[in-house]
């Protein structure tokens, strides 16, 4: 977990110094704009965009993340035609429609669905930039969610609206949804987003992108009765083995049934009782017959007292596989509670794993990712203004601003780590796979705990953790010293990872010292309050 206050304060101090230097030079338009942009972004919630082709469960996934079935309208056909930006606020407050010409208009919240689908007016396709929607979900205080139209929507305008929005807004993270299987057509989606390195472009890397193989439950049948997450994960691994372009773009691809994930958070008492009734009414033979297909589930097995309409509602909410998972859980253990069933359904859908990764990979380190991107944005602005002038006074001001920005990078080693990792993902820095894996681990790609970053066990002692960090620091320092006489740029990555281990060792010692001091303070408090030590 990052120290957010420390990161925010360091970036704000840097921006204030840069603003002071640029104040006398209004000609430095890129720098002025970058200062305001970075300052604003550092204080905003993380921005997560959901992107995919038509009918890939994007809106269902948004609802599942928020745990509510009716936040975003869903259906069998394309429902979303304009970008919807969900932020924390009053559910009943008006939505704000932002137009591409800079104008905006407030309309009643109830009209959101109409505006999201152009309110029936084709002319709005080219006019609306995005729709801002307030929703009172606690998660939106920390993560804004952006629901986008399908990239292969019937109208090419809708697809272009999504791409232009992502390039201009540059969200902190993107989840790409692929449908049914990782076909060449689906994987092409990634390459469509690998834009050039120019101002306001958007380039996806494993630092800001996750993949989701949606609707894996559609591959299930009562005959094979596979664990769809397990089987799909194996298929994904096989595909990624031969796809370096995908590995360099997405941190991971997870199989996720958004429908089941959403249902897991909304198991009603009526649903629970209906599943229990079905379990009590069906023997093994009729259970198999019920799950042959959707039609059999609704209309088949006449002996079932549960009405077809009631079964249809279950099918629409849980899907065939989800309904099977719920009934199997209740058949295996009739004492299963509603809460336990929710946990089982979340795990079997792949949604629990997805949410855990979403929080750890993006949410837990959103501040350092925003800081790293802010530094890059400021450096880009300096270069842009430098190219536009030959004025020595302006050049001097730009150099001083750039120096301030670079000093922050030197002081905040986490930013150096993130920048190096991004350069490796983008192919700008060439290192072997062993180094990349170790850097990813040290940077927290596989967990933020020190035991994760040092690839140690939870039973490892503090002194041994320090020893591991110091040993790795010495190893990479030796590599750096051997290489720097040949090529300083090629040696630089080794210096960064060596310093990462040095800082880890120092922080372990510091945290241990703080912990011991805290224990003493607790003992003093207990003696003061109770007159003796108490546990």
pLDDT tens track for 236-256: 887 776 777 777 778 888 999
In sequence order, the 6+-apart residues with CB closer than 8 A to the CB of 330 are: 275, 276, 279, 336, 341
d(CA 238, CA 235): 5
Structure tokens at 7: 């990161």
According to the model, what pLDDT value does residue 423 have?
85
d(CA 480, CA 336): 57
Higher-scoring residue by pLDDT: 421, 36: 36
DSSP annotation of 51: E
Judging by beta carbons within 10 Å of its beta carbon (0-12, 13-18, 19+), is residue 51 exposed, middle or buried?
buried
Structure tokens at 470: 């110091």
Q: Are 259 and 318 in contact (CB under 8 A)?
A: yes
User: Which segment of 185-194, 282-291, 382-391 scores lowest on mean pLDDT?
Assistant: 185-194
- pLDDT classification of 14: cutoffs 50, 70, 90: very high
Q: Are 470 and 501 in contact (CB under 8 A)?
A: yes
According to the model, what pLDDT value does residue 358 have?
86
Q: Are 65 and 355 in contact (CB under 8 A)?
A: yes
pLDDT, mean of residues 435-458: 89
Which tens digit of pLDDT belongs to each residue from 78-96? Answer: 555 678 899 999 988 999 9
In sequence order, the 6+-apart residues with CB closer than 8 A to the CB of 96 are: 104, 105, 106, 131, 132
pLDDT, mean of residues 400-424: 87
Q: How many CB atoms lie within 10 A of CB 479?
A: 17
Q: What is the mean pLDDT of the chain?
A: 85
Q: Are 34 and 42 in contact (CB under 8 A)?
A: no
- pLDDT classification of 343: cutoffs 50, 70, 90: very high
> For the CA atoms of the chain, what is the radius of gyration?
27
Structure tokens at 406: 């670079």
- pLDDT classification of 302: cutoffs 50, 70, 90: low
Q: Are 133 and 105 in contact (CB under 8 A)?
A: no
Which tens digit of pLDDT belongs to each residue from 16-29? Answer: 999 999 999 999 99
Q: Are 62 and 71 in contact (CB under 8 A)?
A: yes
According to the model, what pLDDT value does residue 198 have?
35
pTM: 0.79
Q: DSSP string covering 252-297, please?
A: -EEEE-HHHHHHHT---HHHHHHHHHHHHH--HHHHHHHTSSHHHH
Which tens digit of pLDDT belongs to each residue from 351-393? Answer: 999 998 888 777 767 888 888 888 988 999 999 999 999 999 9
């Amino acid at each position: 977990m990052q120290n957010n206050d420390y990161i925010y304060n360091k970036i704000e101090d840097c921006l204030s110094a840069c603003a002071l230097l640029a104040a006398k030079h209004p000609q430095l338009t890129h720098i002025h704009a970058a200062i305001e942009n970075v300052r604003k972004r550092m204080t905003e919630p993380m921005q997560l965009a959901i992107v995919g082709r038509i009918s890939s469960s994007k809106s269902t996934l948004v609802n599942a993340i928020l745990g509510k079935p009716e936040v975003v309208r869903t259906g069998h056909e394309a429902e979303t035609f304009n970008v919807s930006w969900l932020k924390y606020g009053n559910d009943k407050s008006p939505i704000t429609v932002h137009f591409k010409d800079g104008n905006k208009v407030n309309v009643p919240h109830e009209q959101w669905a109409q505006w999201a689908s152009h309110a029936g007016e084709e002319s709005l396709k080219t006019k609306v930039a995005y729709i801002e929607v307030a929703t009172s979900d606690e998660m939106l205080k920390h993560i804004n969610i952006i629901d986008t139209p399908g990239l292969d929507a019937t109208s090419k305008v809708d697809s272009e609206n999504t791409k232009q929005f992502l390039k201009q807004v540059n969200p902190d993270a993107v989840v790409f949804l692929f449908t049914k299987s990782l076909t060449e057509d689906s994987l092409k989606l990634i390459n469509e987003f690998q834009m050039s390195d120019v101002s306001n472009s958007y380039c996806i890397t494993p630092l800001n992108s996750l993949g989701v193989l949606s609707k894996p439950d559609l591959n299930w049948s009562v005959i094979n009765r596979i664990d769809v997450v397990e089987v799909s994960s194996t298929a994904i691994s096989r595909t990624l083995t031969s796809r370096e372009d995908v590995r360099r773009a997405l941190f991971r691809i997870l199989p996720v049934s958004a429908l089941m994930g959403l249902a897991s958070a909304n198991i009603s008492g009526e649903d629970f009782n209906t599943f229990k009734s079905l379990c009590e009414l069906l023997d093994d033979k009729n259970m198999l017959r019920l799950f042959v297909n959707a039609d059999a589930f609704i209309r088949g097995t006449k002996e079932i007292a549960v009405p077809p309409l009631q079964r249809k509602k279950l099918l629409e909410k849980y899907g065939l596989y989800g309904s099977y998972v719920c009934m199997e859980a209740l058949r295996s253990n009739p004492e299963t509670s509603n809460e336990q069933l929710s946990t089982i359904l979340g795990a079997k859908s792949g949604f629990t794993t997805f949410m855990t990764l979403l929080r750890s990979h993006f949410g837990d380190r959103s501040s350092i990712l925003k800081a790293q991107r802010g530094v890059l944005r400021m450096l880009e602005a300096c270069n842009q203004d430098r190219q536009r002038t030959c004025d020595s006074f302006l050049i001097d001001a730009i150099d001083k601003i750039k120096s301030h920005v670079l000093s922050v990078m030197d002081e905040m080693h986490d930013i150096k780590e993130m920048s190096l990792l991004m350069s490796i993902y983008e192919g700008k820095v060439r290192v072997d796979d062993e180094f990349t894996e170790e850097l990813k681990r040290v940077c927290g790609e596989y967990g933020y705990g020190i035991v994760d970053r040092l690839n140690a066990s939870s039973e490892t002692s503090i002194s041994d953790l320090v020893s591991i960090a110091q040993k790795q620091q010495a190893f990479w320092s030796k590599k750096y010293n051997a290489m720097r006489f040949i090529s300083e740029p090629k040696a630089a990555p080794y210096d960064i990872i060596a310093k990462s281990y040095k800082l880890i060792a120092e922080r372990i010692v510091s945290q241990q010292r703080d912990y011991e001091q805290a224990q003493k303070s607790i003992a003093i408090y207990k003696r003061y309050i109770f007159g003796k030590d108490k546990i």
